[in-house]
C-alpha cells in the first residue's frame, strides 16, 4: 500500500504502535499524551451523562419544588393578591428549563477507582461493599425525669436504700459526713435487708477509720453481726481480730485466732501454731479440745514418719499386703483410731500408735472404740481378733461375750465384710430378742438358726 511521507508520519504518531526512538523526552511526552487522552475520554463520558440532568430553578437560582421554595411560596400567598398575580404572571412568562452552570469535573482516575462518587452516579467498589445503612434523622423521644435522677446527687438516704433494695445502681459517694453515713446505715437496718446492710457496711469500712467504725457499730448490734459475718466470709482475719479486741470479746478472739490453723499446710508449722493457741483465753471445754488437737497432730507426725519408713523398707507383712492409700496427717481422731486398729492392733500399750494408748489418751468411749476396732479387724477378716474383742472374763475366771453396741449391730458389720455363715450364726444366736434374731437369720440366710427358732416357738 502506497503512503505519502505525511501519512506515514501521522501513522507513526497517532497509532498505538510507536517507532523505536532513543530520545527519552519524546517517550515521556508520548506517555503524557496517552494519559491526558484517557482522562479526557473519561471526562467526556461523565459529561454526557451530566448533560441530561436538567433542573428547574427560579430567578434566585433555587430549584423549584424544594423546601425553601415552598416556604417562600406560602409566605408570598399571604401577601396582597395583586402582587401575587403579578409575580405569577412574570414567573409564567419567563419560566424555562435552565441548565445550571456546571462546575469543572472533579473526576479523576483515582476518584473513579477509590473515591466516593456523588449521588446519582455509579458507586465505587468500596462503596458497594460497605453496606452502611443511612442515618436516621428522626427526633429522639425525651427520657423520663426519673431516669435522669439516677445519675444525680439528690437522693436522700431513704431513697438510696430503697433503690439499693430494688437492685438499681446508686452511688454512695455523696454521703460524706459521718451523720449522713450513719443515717444511711440506720435506714438500711430498718429495711431488714441483709444485702443492703452489707453494701452500706462495705462503704463505711472503706470510708471510715477502724476506731470510728467499731465505736459506732458497738451500739448497733444488727449491723455489727452483719459485719462480723462478712469478715468471716471474706477471710479478713486481721480486721476481725481487731474488732474482737476492741469489743473485748476474748473467747471469740481466741476462736478466730485458732481458725487460722486451717490455712497452714505444713504439719510441723501447724503443730507449732496449735501450741501457741493453748494459752489463749478459751473456755474450759474448748481448751481441752485445743490440747487434744495438738497432741493428736503430734502423734500423727510420729506415726506417719515411722510407717513411711516401714512401708519403704518392705519388711512388714501388713504393709506389703495392704499398702497405705493416704497419709494419716491431719486426719480426725476416729480415722486415726481405725488406722491404728488396722496396722498396729497388736502393738503394746506404751507405743504412740497403739489403739489402746489412743483410747486412754483421748478418753474414747467403749462403744466408739469397739465399733471402730470391729470395722478394722473385720475388713482384714481377722475373725479371731473379732471374737477376742467381745470376750470378757469375770472375777471367777468364766468367759462371756458382751457387746456394748448390741450383737445385732455386730452381725450387720460382719455381713458387710463378707463373714462366713458359721460366724454369722454364732453372733445371731447371741441376740436376745427372739423376733430380731429370726429376722436377722432370715435376712442373712442362716437357715439353721431359722429352723431352731421355728422349732422353739412351736
Q: Is residue 27 part of a domain?
A: no
Share in percent of the chain as helix, strand, coil (round to 5): 65, 0, 35
Q: Is residue 215 part of a domain?
A: yes
- For residue 169, what pLDDT is reported? 81
How many structural domains does the chain have?
3
- For residue 455, what pLDDT is reported? 79
Residue 100 or residue 316, greater confidence? 316
Q: Which of 318, 310, 420, 295 minimizes the C-alpha distance to 376? A: 318
Q: Is residue 109 part of a domain?
A: no
Q: Which of 341, 364, 387 is the last residue of a domain?
A: 364
Which tens digits make up the pLDDT trace of 156-176? 888 888 888 888 888 888 888
353 and 389, same domain (yes or no): no
Residue 292 or residue 11, greater confidence? 292
- Cα separation, 61 vs 422, in Å, equals 122
359 and 380, same domain (yes or no): no
Q: Is residue 103 part of a domain?
A: no
Q: Is residue 239 part of a domain?
A: yes
Which tens digits make up the pLDDT trace of 112-150? 444 444 444 445 544 544 455 554 444 444 555 554 454
Q: Is residue 196 part of a domain?
A: yes
357 and 276, same domain (yes or no): yes
Q: Which of 248, 283, 315 is the last residue of a domain?
A: 248
If phi > 0 it is left, if psi is from -120 to 50 it is alpha, else beta; for residue 381 that is left
Q: Is residue 456 part of a domain?
A: yes
- Cα separation, 434 vs 429, in Å, equals 9
Give the range of the structural domain holding residue 325, as residue numbers without chain letter. 269-364
56 and 63 Cβ atoms separated by less than 8 Å: yes
Q: Which of 364, 379, 394 is the last residue of a domain?
A: 364
pTM: 0.58
156 and 182 Cβ atoms separated by less than 8 Å: no
Amino acid at each position: 500500500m502506497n503512503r505519502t511521507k505525511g501519512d506515514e508520519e501521522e501513522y507513526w504518531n497517532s497509532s498505538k504502535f510507536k517507532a523505536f526512538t532513543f530520545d527519552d523526552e519524546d517517550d515521556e511526552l508520548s506517555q503524557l499524551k496517552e494519559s491526558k487522552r484517557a482522562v479526557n475520554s473519561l471526562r467526556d463520558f461523565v459529561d454526557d451523562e451530566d448533560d441530561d440532568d436538567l433542573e428547574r430553578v427560579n430567578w434566585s437560582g433555587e430549584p423549584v419544588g424544594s423546601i425553601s421554595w415552598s416556604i417562600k411560596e406560602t409566605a408570598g400567598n399571604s401577601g396582597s393578591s395583586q402582587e401575587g398575580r403579578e409575580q405569577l404572571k412574570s414567573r409564567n412568562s419567563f419560566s424555562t428549563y435552565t441548565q445550571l452552570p456546571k462546575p469543572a469535573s472533579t473526576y479523576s482516575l483515582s476518584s473513579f477507582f477509590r473515591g466516593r462518587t456523588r449521588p446519582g452516579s455509579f458507586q465505587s467498589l468500596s462503596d458497594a461493599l460497605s453496606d452502611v445503612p443511612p442515618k436516621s434523622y428522626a427526633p429522639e423521644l425525651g427520657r423520663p425525669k426519673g431516669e435522669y435522677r439516677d445519675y444525680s446527687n439528690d437522693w436522700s438516704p431513704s431513697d438510696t436504700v430503697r433503690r439499693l433494695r430494688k437492685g438499681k445502681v446508686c452511688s454512695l459517694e455523696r454521703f460524706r459526713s459521718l451523720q449522713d453515713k450513719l443515717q444511711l446505715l440506720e435506714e438500711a437496718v430498718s429495711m431488714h435487708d441483709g444485702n443492703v446492710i452489707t453494701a452500706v457496711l462495705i462503704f463505711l469500712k472503706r470510708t471510715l477509720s477502724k476506731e470510728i467504725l467499731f465505736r459506732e457499730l458497738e451500739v448497733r448490734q444488727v449491723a455489727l453481726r452483719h459485719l462480723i459475718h462478712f469478715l468471716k466470709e471474706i477471710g479478713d482475719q486481721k480486721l476481725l481480730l481487731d474488732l474482737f479486741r476492741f469489743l473485748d470479746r476474748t473467747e471469740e478472739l481466741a476462736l478466730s485466732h485458732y481458725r487460722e490453723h486451717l490455712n497452714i499446710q505444713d504439719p510441723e508449722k501447724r503443730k507449732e501454731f496449735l501450741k501457741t493457741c493453748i494459752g489463749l483465753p478459751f473456755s474450759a471445754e474448748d481448751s481441752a479440745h485445743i490440747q487434744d488437737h495438738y497432741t493428736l497432730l503430734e502423734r500423727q507426725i510420729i506415726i506417719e514418719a515411722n510407717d513411711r519408713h516401714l512401708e519403704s523398707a518392705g519388711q512388714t507383712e501388713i504393709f506389703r499386703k495392704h499398702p497405705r492409700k493416704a497419709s494419716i496427717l491431719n486426719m480426725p481422731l476416729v480415722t486415726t483410731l481405725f488406722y491404728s486398729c488396722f496396722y498396729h492392733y497388736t502393738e503394746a500399750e506404751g507405743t504412740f500408735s497403739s489403739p489402746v494408748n489412743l483410747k486412754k489418751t483421748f478418753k474414747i468411749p467403749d462403744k466408739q472404740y469397739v465399733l471402730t476396732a470391729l470395722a478394722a479387724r473385720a475388713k482384714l477378716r481377722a475373725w479371731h481378733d473379732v471374737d477376742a474383742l467381745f470376750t470378757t472374763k469375770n472375777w471367777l475366771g468364766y468367759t462371756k461375750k458382751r457387746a456394748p453396741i448390741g450383737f445385732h449391730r455386730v452381725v450387720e458389720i460382719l455381713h458387710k465384710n463378707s463373714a462366713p455363715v458359721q460366724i454369722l450364726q454364732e453372733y445371731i444366736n447371741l441376740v436376745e430378742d427372739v423376733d430380731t434374731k429370726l429376722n436377722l437369720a432370715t435376712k442373712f440366710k442362716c437357715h439353721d438358726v431359722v429352723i431352731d427358732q421355728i422349732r422353739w416357738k412351736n
